[in-house]
Chain A
Amino acid sequence: MENEMTLQFSAISENEALARMTLTFFIAALDPTLEEISEYKTIISEAATNAIIHGYAEDPAGVVEIRAKLDGREVTVSITDHGGGIADVNEAMQPMFTTKPEAERSGMGFTIMESFADHLEVQSRPGSGTTVTFKKTFSPVPEVCRTTG
């Protein structure tokens, strides 16, 4: 199956759920397992939340853009903000690293994203924003689960 979509939304925390729901509908036809869906939703949620609170500091004027592409059973998703950017991406990706401990950010976001995605890439420039791109392939639907007609 081939398909493409783009979603844009304001950098407010209510839209974390919107991003998860929309991107879940996008892959629903692939009949993924519950665990695959929840891992995929978690990656979207982490990246969208980062864009909203780190990229734009929850400024509603900020726009987060998510582009997704489906190729067979592989989905490629990129989450982009044009906000503050990350000075040192390697440091930001270390487990437990956070610039917002007071906001109870655990610093586990990138570790979790890397673990749940098949491939993850972070491009960032201070002052111009961040794009997180990941790929995930969903396992084939077992023969016995396929419905006919």
Chain B
Amino acid sequence: MEQMIEMLDEGIVSVRPMGELDHHSADEIRRTVSHLIYGGSISGIIWDLGNLQFMDSAGIGLILGRMRDLRAVEGGTVILNPSPTMRKMFEMSGLGDHLLDGLPTDAIDRLGGILHGK
């Protein structure tokens, strides 16, 4: 599936999946992002979902899995601009604290705060 992965400052990576995220398409993103985390260069992930048209529980599994990977480096996770339906799914899955509606810069500020223990 189409995705944009962009390295920002301070080891923050922005992942912007587009189209439809399901069990079939989640695998490709998982491989790419896991590779970056295991490379040791990532301390935080912004999942920018503003351009995602559809997501099912495979998206939950994908994000929970990367949070597990990030635990080793005490990294942070922000889920940016999910649709109302996605928001409900994240809240049901206990990820409500990671949701943010706003600009990518807001997500970077939030992550910077988490990573520096503010």
Residues of A near any B CB (own CB < 8 A): 13-14, 16-17, 20, 35, 38-39, 41-42, 45-46, 49, 52-53, 95, 103-106, 108-109, 111-112, 115-116
Contact = CB atoms under 8 A, between A and B. Distances in A.
Given A42-B89, A115-B92, A16 B60 contact: no
Contacts of A105: 57-58, 61
Contact of A112 (B23, B26, B30, B57): B57
* 4 nearest CB pairs, A to B: A13-B24, A104-B61, A106-B61, A106-B60
Interface in B10-60: 20, 22-24, 26, 30, 54-58, 60
A41 B84 CA distance: 14
Nearest to A17: B20
22 contacts: A13-B24, A16-B22, A16-B24, A17-B24, A20-B54, A38-B83, A41-B54, A42-B85, A49-B58, A104-B30, A104-B61, A105-B58, A105-B61, A106-B58, A106-B60, A106-B61, A106-B64, A108-B92, A109-B56, A112-B92, A115-B88, A116-B88
Interface residues of B, number: 23
Nearest to B90: A108
Nearest to B86: A38
B93 interface: yes
Contacts of A53: 23
